[in-house]
Amino acid sequence: MNTIDYSKKIPAKIIDADIESFHGLSFVTNYIAVRSEATPEELENAYDAMHSLQKQEIELEAKLKAISDAARQAEVKFHEAVLAMKETVRGQFGPNSDEAAAIGYKKKSEYKRRRRSVKATAS
C-alpha cells in the first residue's frame, strides 16, 4: 500500500476512488463497523463536510482570481496615469527643469557629452 503525504492535498484520483467506495457501501448488507469513524453515519458526515469545504474552496479561488485581475487592472491604470503625468510635467517645464528631476527624470544637462576622439595622423 502506498503511503500518502498528508501535508499536501490528496490526489483527485484517490478521492474519486474513495467516493466510489463510499457510495458502494450502500449495496453492502450486514456491514458492521469495527471503528467508530467507519460507521455509515460518520462516513456520511465526513463526506458532507468534505463536499461543503471543497465547494467553499472553489468559490474562494474564483473570488481570488477576480480580485487578482481587478488589482492588476488597477496597477495598469495607475501606471498609465503616472506616465501621463510625467509627460505633462516634461511638456510644461522642459526636460532640463527641477520639476522634471523631482518626478524621477535626469536633467538633460546632467548627461555627459560625448567627447570627440581625435584621430591620429599617420606620418
Cβ burial, residue 23 (10 Å; 0-12/13-18/19+): exposed
Q: Report if pTM > 0.85.
A: no
Q: Which residue has the higher pLDDT, 116 or 16?
A: 16
What's the pLDDT at 73? 97
Q: Residue 74, Cβ neighbours under 10 Å: how many?
A: 10
pLDDT at 2 over 70: no
**10-19, 32-41, 65-74: which is most confident:** 65-74
pLDDT at 122 over 70: no
Determine the 3-state secondary structure of 68 from DSSP: helix
pLDDT at 3 over 90: no
Residue 32 is placed in which grid cell?
Answer: 458492521
Sign of CA dihedral 100, 101, 102, 104: positive
What is the share, in percent, of the chain residues with pLDDT greater than 90?
61
